[in-house]
Amino acid sequence: MAVDDPGRSYSHPLFDTLERFPGLDLATTTADKLLNWGARNSLWIFPMATSCCGIEFMASAASRVDFDRMGSFTRATPRQADVMVVAGTITVKMAPRVKRLWDQMPEPKWCVAMGSCAISGDFYRDIYSVIPGIDTVIPVDVYVPGCPPNPEALMAGLLVLQEKIALKTAGLKTVPAGRPETAKMISPRIKRVGHPDRMPEIDAAQCAQAMSLDLTEPPDLLAAFTAAQAAAKAAREAAEAAAADAAAADEKGGEA
C-alpha cells in the first residue's frame, strides 16, 4: 500500500531515512533535490482513459497544449510510468483492474483524477455498477474538475502536481489533496483511501479482488460493513442529540 499517512501519497526511501535521522538531511539534501527535480520534470503518464475525458487527454498530448514540453509523455505500461491519470467513469468491473495496474507502478507514483466521473462518479454515482470516485480505490494527489476538463485544465493539474513534489523536496508537508466542493456534497458509502474512518477490511478485500479478479461480494465483509455503518450512525445521532441538549441548556441559561 502506498499510503501510510493521510498527508502523503507515496513513500520515498530517501525521505524516510531523512525523517528518521535529523541532521542527515544536510548531507543528502542536494542529491535529493536533484532526484526530485528530475522526477517532477519527467512525469511519465499512464493514461487510464475509459471515456470522453480520454479524448481531452489526447488533445492535451497534441500540439496545442502539448505536455511533452514539460517532460510528461504517455507510456502504455504501468511499469514505466510515474503518474496515473484516471480519465473517465470507473465501473465495478474495471476498478479491480485499475487497482492492479496502480499496484504495478513503481514508487514514487502519483495519481490525477481527471473529470467529474473519476472524482465522484458524477451523475452516474448512484448506479449499481459505477465507482463513486476513484479515491475510494486508490489515493489521489490532484483532482482536475470538469466534464470533461479542457486540456488547459489538465495541464494546470500537472503543474500543481509538480509544485506538490517541489514542496516535498523543500521539506514542507504537502497539504492532502482536498476533494472539490461538488464532491464534498457526496459522501460515498465506502470512505476514500486514507480516510480515518475507512475500514481496513475494505482495503484487504480490494487488494484480494484486484489479485484474483473474482468479484464475488464477500458475505462476512457485508456483515462487518453493515455493523460499522450502524455504529457510525448511532454515534452521529448521539453526538447530534448531545449538541442539541447543550444548545437547549445554553438557551435556558441565557433566559435565566
Partner 1 sequence: MTADERQARLAAFMTERFGVEADPWPDGGPIVPVEQHVALAAALQAELGYTLYVYCVASHWPDETPKGGDLIPEHYEVATGLRSVGAGSHVAMWRVSVPVGAGVPTLADLFAGADWQEREQYDLVGVVFDDHPDLRRLMLPEEWVGHPLRKDYAIETGHLPWR
Give residues in contact with partner 1 (CB under 8 A).
92-93, 95-96, 126-132, 136-137, 188-190, 201-202, 205-206, 209, 214-218, 221-222, 225
Coil, helix or strand at residue 83: strand
Rounded Cα gap, residues 138 and 134, in angstroms: 6
Least distance in angstroms from the C-beta of 213 to partner 1: 8
DSSP structure string for 107-118: SS-EEEEESHHH
Least distance in angstroms from the C-beta of 214 to partner 1: 6
Rounded Cα gap, residues 118 and 95, in angstroms: 11
Nearer to partner 1, 182 or 226 (CB): 226
Coil, helix or strand at residue 131: coil
β-strand pairing of 45-49 with 142-144: unpaired
Least distance in angstroms from the C-beta of 28 to partner 1: 39
Nearer to partner 1, 40 or 99 (CB): 99
Nearer to partner 1, 6 or 188 (CB): 188
Least distance in angstroms from the C-beta of 256 to partner 1: 48
Coil, helix or strand at residue 130: strand
Torsion angles phi and psi, residue 111, rounded to 5: -130, 135
Q: Are 112 and 83 in contact (CB under 8 A)?
A: yes
Q: Which residues contact 69 (CB under 8 A, 6 or more apart)?
A: none
Nearer to partner 1, 37 or 225 (CB): 225
Nearer to partner 1, 61 or 190 (CB): 190
Least distance in angstroms from the C-beta of 11 to partner 1: 23
